[in-house]
Amino acid sequence: MSTITRKKIAYEALPTPGVDHCSTAETPFLLPHIDDKGLPKPPTSFRIGWRFTMACSLVATVFTFACNIIVMIWSSQQSRSINDNFLLFSGDCATVKTIDTWAHLAINILSTLLLGASNHTLQVLVAPTREDVDATHALHKSVDIAVPSITNWTFMTLQKRILFLIVVITSLPLHLIFNSVIFSTDSAIEYQATVVSSDFLQHNPTAAPWNDGMFQNTTFYDIPEDGDHIYLAKATVYQLWHDANSNLFTTIEPDHCRDITLNIFKSTYSNIILFTDFSSPNRSLISSYRLIPSQENSIPCALPKDAWSCMPSGIPDEEWLLPYQIFKDPYANNGAAQVTSCSIQQGQRHCTVELIPKLLAIVMVCNFLKGAALTYVLVSSIISEPLLTLGDAIASFLEISDKYTNHQGGLSTVDTRRSLVPDRHRGSAVDENMNGWWQPYRRYFSSVSPLRWMATLQLFFSYCSLGLGMILAFYGPYHASFSWKPKTRTNFSQQWQAGFGALFSDLFYQPQIFSDPTNVLIANAIIANTPQLVLSLAYITCNGLFTCMCVSAEWAGYAQEKKRGLRVTNPAGQQRRSYWLSLPFKISIPLLIMSGALHWLLSQTIYVVRLDFFTAEGTKSNDAINGIGWAPLMLVIFLAAAGVLLLVLLAFSLQKFPPGIPIVSGNSWAISAGCHAIKSGESLQKLGYGVISELGDDKYHVGFSSGNVRPLVPGEHYR
């Protein structure tokens, strides 16, 4: 239907001034926000009604944009990392972890502000005007008032639709990449593992001829292509021998040695010396390997016959054997040297906090476009007195009655769902209820449509089921890992001690999408933050549930003995001013805080990981591992918090409405049916809802009145 046709139908639905008893022509002094044509005057001050809240949303958006600009300017003056990212901090790993935690907390606070601003703007854009309502009622259809509703899209103008899409589309990158704009890197040391004889410390290993008695094939479990098998220079061997004799090494048992070397992502040792029972008159040095920590290598035990790896608990310590073969005698039989003790030398790890400029640039562009859209909505005339609150709708229908819902008092949303069907052969869309008025449901949950409940609960249960499935698959008896068979399963205690964002080999996944390091980081960021997008959708649906129930509760509140003024965006008379739309601050603010907390917990559950390598001498290597890490412990905490939110929602929905009033749930037809005043100026007074007068033939007029009213009674007939 074109805009011209809709406006024509809308004006035909309005009463003629001077004829209808509710016309503004008789009460111009009582309605300062109604113009001489009977149409609302839009307020011009940003301190009034929805414009104040919209201005606050714009301030939050501009503040976020300013923070992004400041961070971009400051970080661009810092040095660059190997991957051309901005290096914000480099140093102690514990300090890096603290900076990363607070940075992500700040990011999630800003994201929550943007989410709230976007949600408010979308609700303003989809809010109908009185013209939209009259045009829709002329087609025997209804619209949603004071609740988030995508079904109102049908009557939105092209400008509103474009602004709606801008707000939605600019929100997607914010949820997909904002949490990964700043990330921390971990590090591991390419440690030197040296196999020596038991008398290594007593004899200078460089005294004997270097090529005499050299051994090969000293197995260090499946050395990958990036693991270097090197032979140490004499100076290096002497330095190793000297450090070992200078108490710079710590001696540990073989089983402990295997434990610490198996955690390959946390390698903090620059040198490891394995003492064996091998003896030779010529040499005390058997072999040496420089190992680059990766998913495939470690220093495990080996069996004499098959020479393959085993877990630390796989065989007794005395069977940790390293097979070898003498170089100068290639036909000699293989032997096996038993590991008797182990000495380790602590190295220095280096961690960094980095910023990906490409991702921040995308966030800034989306932030700017969102701010521009909010500014246009605020300062332009595209929004002309929308029916944002329930009080706005009630006041509008009381001031100018709706001819399509006349004589249909006492309708509820359930009645309109069952009876409101397009029928151009009838004068009205709802037949009179021959059995009288009835109120089957009084719980809050009955005010929400089954489809809205289904969408929200499905998101919650899908999220929880997927999370529980990941935990059970990881810790269950039939564990199947993502890309390799893990040798250990990191427990909750280890994760708690390691802190947020810790990296473990069995909690790490490497998507093989791009080869370029920068593209790999961006791809990993999108994958890791996809659950954030779904979580935002869950917040919006949950917000819609609370809104529907609060709107119905506000409507039902007028059935109480104490009368009160209408809560509107542009008050007059005894009406009440409101800066919130339909969800009270006592609910919306805790809900927004809970959303921010869940987003932060999720950012600590699935996160981008980059592991840098340093040589034993402290030089940074060109090798690095990029991937996605996850933490089952944080996932459990996240699921518990989401479960608490769900329980609060369900408990809230079990509250009872007061008896004697139909539940409207933001349905425009049901609201309009209960707003036919018997005298002018009622919308400016303190009102109550109920039976106003008797019409005869056992029929009663119900609606809002500043006079005496009584509750509706099941079985009576109302008009």
Name the helix (H) or strand (E) containing 326: strand 321-326
Range of lowest pLDDT (129-138, 181-190, 588-597): 181-190
Closest-CA residue to 620 (of 88, 90, 99, 89): 90
Handedness of CA 143, 147, 153, 157 (dihedral sign): positive
Q: Taking 70 as the threshold, does the pLDDT of residue 74 lie above it?
A: yes
Contacts of 479 (CB under 8 A, 6+ apart): 473, 486, 489
* Contact (CB, 8 A) for 249 and 221: no
Tokens of residue 125, six digits: 């854009």
Q: Residue 226: helix, strand or coil by DSSP?
A: coil
Q: Residue 285: helix, strand or coil by DSSP?
A: strand
More confident residue, 520 or 131: 131
Which region holds residue 653: left if phi is over 0, alpha if psi is between -120 and 50, else beta? alpha
Tell me, what's the pLDDT at 610? 84
More confident residue, 713 or 238: 713
Average pLDDT over residues 284-313: 39
Report, in angstroms and rounded to the nearest whole number, the Rg of the chain calculated over CA atoms.
36
Please classify residue 64 by burial: count the beta carbons closer than 10 Å to its beta carbon, then call 0-12 exposed, 13-18 middle and 19+ buried.
Answer: buried
Average pLDDT over residues 26-40: 44
Handedness of CA 175, 179, 181, 185 (dihedral sign): negative
More confident residue, 417 or 544: 544
* Contact (CB, 8 A) for 410 and 673: yes
Rounded to an integer, what distance in angstroms lies between the CA atom of residue 663 and that of residue 417? 12
Tell me, what's the pLDDT at 325? 37
* Contact (CB, 8 A) for 691 and 710: yes
Contacts of 482 (CB under 8 A, 6+ apart): 509
Rounded to an integer, what distance in angstroms lies between the CA atom of residue 479 and that of residue 470? 10
* Contact (CB, 8 A) for 651 and 645: no
Average pLDDT over residues 593-615: 88
Rounded to an integer, what distance in angstroms lies between the CA atom of residue 408 and that of residue 416? 11
DSSP state of 78: S
Q: Percent of the chain scored above 70 by pLDDT?
A: 72
Q: Residue 345: helix, strand or coil by DSSP?
A: strand
For 573-584, b/e burial (b = at least 16 CB within 10 A) is: bebeebebbbbe
Q: Percent of the chain scored above 90 by pLDDT?
A: 25
| Average per-residue pLDDT for the chain | 76
Tokens of residue 434, six digits: 């021959």
- Cα separation values, 38 from 24, 374, 566, Å: 6, 29, 19
pLDDT tens digits, 431-478: 445 567 777 668 899 889 889 999 999 989 988 899 898 888 888 765
pLDDT tens digits, 77-131: 988 877 788 999 988 888 998 999 899 999 989 998 998 899 889 999 999 999 9
Range of lowest pLDDT (33-47, 95-109, 122-136, 561-575): 33-47
What's phi and psi for 566, nearest 5 deg? -70, 140
Q: Residue 647: helix, strand or coil by DSSP?
A: helix
Helices 390-399 + 517-556 axis angle, to 10: 50
Handedness of CA 415, 420, 425, 428 (dihedral sign): positive
Q: Global pTM? A: 0.76
Centre a 10 Å sphere on the Cβ of residue 527 and count the other Cβ atoms it contains. Answer: 18
Pairing of strands 269-276, 192-196: parallel
Q: Residue 90: helix, strand or coil by DSSP?
A: strand
Range of lowest pLDDT (349-358, 437-446, 669-678): 437-446
Tokens of residue 397, six digits: 């229908």
Q: Taking 50 as the threshold, does the pLDDT of residue 532 lie above it?
A: yes
What's phi and psi for 527, nearest 5 deg? -65, -45
* Contact (CB, 8 A) for 260 and 193: no
Biggest alpha carbon–alpha carbon distance for the chain: 122
Residues in the chain: 719
Rounded to an integer, what distance in angstroms lies between the CA atom of residue 429 and that of residue 139? 9
